[in-house]
């Protein structure tokens, strides 16, 4: 059957309109001008509000998030670079007071020398709708014993461990991968070539220590004897920014304790550089003592009082973050 000419024209016009509208809708929905790529449709399914590409995003706000937004500040960089290394007088004085030194070296000269040894790069500040960075933060609590969390911990992109934490012999409970190991000179251990060493400096001498431990080995003592050399890849060394340290103490701990624990500082690093944060191995015992998963009992001196840290307050804040779905807490046994 032959269609009349006007019906042919109408069909063509309708077809043209349909193609134009579909193209417009596709481009509007999937084109990401910031990356100059089309977004994979899965990302839209995974995160309806598009803050990141995970199921749950750190920066995605819920209705009752005032407590979180009052504290969370993405403008303070967690890691030190040459550019952000200058400290305000206020920050410098607070930081110097943490573990005061009798004759500290000149801070900016030490920083200058530091970045001749380690890279000066801005890392991890790349949050956006394309990114889904999952992180496991592994504290050292004895509650990891018998937890069988190993595979779950290892399944994140970043696995952040700290201080003396071993994995060998404990893989089923704590996993075997480590991407970042957070430490300070007095808690330092050797690392493999691929692991990022995150140094928390408490004093200028700690910056001199890392320079020395990676090169000449001359710094052997801080307030106790320390490792004079460390096995680590000097291209994989990151420095926790003292300005960020103070922000965590003031905004998140509201000045509780003398200063935050390694665990809390590591958790907060993750909160600021990851989209999804899973937390393992946090929790003192009922008497407020910290014990470690690799130590046996009271006789080995495994239980220590949380000392300069306010373990209770830190735990309360951590629990609140979990209640508000910012992190997921795995409480072990």
Provide the minimum distance between the beta carbon of 188 and ligand C5P in the complex, in angstroms, as a whole number: 12
Q: Give 54 or 273: the residue with its C-beta nearer to ligand C5P.
A: 273
Please tell me which residue in 77, 180, 181, 309 is annotated as part of the active site. 309
Provide the minimum distance between the beta carbon of 81 and ligand C5P in the complex, in angstroms, as a whole number: 25
Say whether 259 is catalytic. yes
Say whether 181 is catalytic. no
Q: Give 38 or 223: the residue with its C-beta nearer to ligand C5P.
A: 223
Q: Give 209 or 282: the residue with its C-beta nearer to ligand C5P.
A: 282
Contact (Cβ atoms closer than 8 angstroms) between residue 204 and residue 101 = yes
Task: Select from 163, 144, 146 the least CA-distant residue to 279.
Answer: 144
Residue 198: CB atoms within 10 Å:
23
Distance between CA atoms of 43 and 50, rounded to whole angstroms?
Answer: 8
Contact (Cβ atoms closer than 8 angstroms) between residue 157 and residue 54 = no
Task: Select from 209, 225, 306, 221 the least CA-distant residue to 258.
Answer: 306
Provide the minimum distance between the beta carbon of 181 and ligand C5P in the complex, in angstroms, as a whole number: 11
Contact (Cβ atoms closer than 8 angstroms) between residue 289 and residue 76 = no
Q: Give 93 or 164: the residue with its C-beta nearer to ligand C5P.
A: 164
Contact (Cβ atoms closer than 8 angstroms) between residue 141 and residue 284 = yes
64 phi/psi in degrees, rounded to 5: -100, 40
Provide the minimum distance between the beta carbon of 20 and ligand C5P in the complex, in angstroms, as a whole number: 58
Provide the minimum distance between the beta carbon of 330 and ligand C5P in the complex, in angstroms, as a whole number: 12
Distance between CA atoms of 263 and 281, rounded to whole angstroms?
Answer: 9
Contact (Cβ atoms closer than 8 angstroms) between residue 258 and residue 99 = no
Provide the minimum distance between the beta carbon of 42 and ligand C5P in the complex, in angstroms, as a whole number: 35
DSSP 51: S
How distant is the alpha carbon of residue 73 from its chain centre?
14
Task: Name the site residues for ligand C5P (rule: CB under 6 A).
Answer: 139-142, 162-164, 261-264, 282-284, 290-291
Please tell me which residue in 259, 272, 293, 315 is annotated as part of the active site. 259
Q: Give 56 or 141: the residue with its C-beta nearer to ligand C5P.
A: 141
- Select the residue whose beta carbon is closest to ligand C5P and give its number: 263
Provide the pairing of β-strand 304-305 with 289-290: antiparallel
Q: Give 129 or 281: the residue with its C-beta nearer to ligand C5P.
A: 281
Q: Which residues participate in catalysis according to the annotation?
A: 259, 309
């Amino acid at each position: 059957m032959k269609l009349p000419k006007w019906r042919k024209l109408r069909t063509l016009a309708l077809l043209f309109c349909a193609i134009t509208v579909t193209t417009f809708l596709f481009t509007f929905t999937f084109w990401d001008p910031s990356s100059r790529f089309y977004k994979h449709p899965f990302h839209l399914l995974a995160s309806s509000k598009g803050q990141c590409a995970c199921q749950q995003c750190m920066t995605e706000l819920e209705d009752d998030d005032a407590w979180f937004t009052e504290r969370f500040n993405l403008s303070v960089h967690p890691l030190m670079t040459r550019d952000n290394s200058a400290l305000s007088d206020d920050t410098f004085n607070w930081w110097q007071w943490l573990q005061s030194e009798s004759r500290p070296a000149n801070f900016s000269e030490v920083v200058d020398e530091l970045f001749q040894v380690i890279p000066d790069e801005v890392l991890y500040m790349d949050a956006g709708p394309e990114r889904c960075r999952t992180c496991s933060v592994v504290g050292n609590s004895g509650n990891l014993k018998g937890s069988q969390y190993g595979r779950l911990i290892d399944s994140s992109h970043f696995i952040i461990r700290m201080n003396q934490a071993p994995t060998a012999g404990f893989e089923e409970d704590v996993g075997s991968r480590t991407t970042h190991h957070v430490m300070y000179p007095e808690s330092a251990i050797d690392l493999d070539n691929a692991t990022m060493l995150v140094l928390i400096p408490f004093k200028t001498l700690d910056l001199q220590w890392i320079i020395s431990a990676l090169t000449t080995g001359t710094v052997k003592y801080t307030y106790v004897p320390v490792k004079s050399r460390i096995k680590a890849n000097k291209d994989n060394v990151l420095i926790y920014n003292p300005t960020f340290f103070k922000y965590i103490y003031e905004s998140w701990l509201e000045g509780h304790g003398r200063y935050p624990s390694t665990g809390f500082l590591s958790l907060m690093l993750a909160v600021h550089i990851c989209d999804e944060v899973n937390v393992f191995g946090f929790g003192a015992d009922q008497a407020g003592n910290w014990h470690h998963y690799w130590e046996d009992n009271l006789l080995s001196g495994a239980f220590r009082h949380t000392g300069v840290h306010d373990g209770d307050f830190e735990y309360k804040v951590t629990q609140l973050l979990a209640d508000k779905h910012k992190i997921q807490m795995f409480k072990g046994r």
